[in-house]
Each structure stands twice: as structure tokens, then as C-alpha cells.
Amino acid sequence: MEKKTRLAPVCVLVSALLLLGFVPHAFPAGALSSSQATPVGRWKTVDDVTGKAKSLVVIREERGKLSGMIEKILDQSSTDLDPRCGHCQGELKNRPLVGLRILWDLKQDGTQWSGGKVLDPENGKIYNCSISVEDGGKKLRVRGFIGFSILGRTQYWLRDQEQ
């Protein structure tokens, strides 16, 4: 009886090791590549009301911080061929939207990036910001807020598949 008792923990240990040996094979290499787990890349901003893509924003990492700028305006419903940030203040006032930096100083904090700012070109206001990648790298959760994160608004941007 004593030999069976000693064998049980060994069998459990061997089974666990075998299982662990097979776990990496359950997920093919590159199933979630590092490019999908990071916000670095090209994203389509989406209008909260209409659900239509409005612009392409390129997010880059430089010295451990993320920043993002508008690369292209997608919403062609406007007749303005050179849209500008008319509501922005200071040096940003009337700057062209294409090339405008709208995200900056975001630092990684676990699975999200926070501590930075986001500019809403629609109203010219600058908010505190945090972002996180969701849905296997397909969506970017962008949270703009004043003071506490609970007092704000969340948008979901879509990864541009044409990268």
C-alpha cells in the first residue's frame, strides 16, 4: 500500500511535466505576434455616432514612450480639402490635421499605456489618456479623461489591416 502512495505524486508530477511540454505546441508560433500585442502601428479612428472610420493614426514608440499622429483623413464627407484644428489653442491653433500629433507621452504600465495625453481635434481639448490593445490586437481602447479615469470617454480604434 505504501508503494502506491509514493507512486501517486510521481505520476502527478510526470503528467504535469508532460502537459507543460505540450502546452507551447497548442499555440502556434506567432499566433499573437508582438506587433499585435503592441499599440505601435496604424489605426483607424472611428466616429462614436456614425461608426464610420474618420482617420488613420500612426502610433510610434520612441525612447519608451508612445506618440501618435494623424496620417490621413478618411472621412471625405467634408468639403474641406485641408482640414485644420480650428478649436485648438496656442501653437496648435489652425494646424493641419494631417501630421498633427494627437497622442503623446504614453508609457507602458503592464498591459496598458498611460500617463500621456490625447488631443481631441473636434473640440481642441487635451485630456489625460490611457490605451490598451484588445481583441487579439485588432482593437485599441483609447480612454481620454480629466482627473480620474472614471470621468472620461472611451473610443475603440481598429487596427489598419493594410499595413
Closest to 40 in 3D by CA, of 63, 60, 67, 62: 60
Q: Residue 20: its pLDDT value, please? A: 32
- The pLDDT confidence band at residue 36, using thresholds 50, 70 and 90, is low
Task: Write out pLDDT tens, residues 84-96.
Answer: 999 999 999 999 9
Q: Are 138 and 100 in contact (CB under 8 A)?
A: no
Percentage of the chain modeled with pLDDT above 90: 64
| Averaged pLDDT for residues 54-80 | 91
Question: Among candidates 28, 66, 49, 37, which has minimal Cα distance to 159?
Answer: 37
- State the residue for C-alpha cell 507602458: 108
Q: Please indicate whether residue 120 or residue 9 has the higher confidence score (pLDDT).
A: 120
pLDDT at 23: 30
Q: What structural domains does the chain harbor?
A: 34-159 (2.40.128.520)
Alpha-carbon torsion angle 103, 97, 72, 48, nearest 10: 70
pLDDT digits (tens, 9 = 90+) for 102-139: 999 999 999 999 999 999 999 999 999 999 999 999 99
pLDDT in tens, 10-21: 333 333 333 333
Q: pLDDT tens across 18-31, in order?
A: 333 333 333 333 33
Contact 146, 154 (CB under 8 A): no
Record the pTM. Answer: 0.75
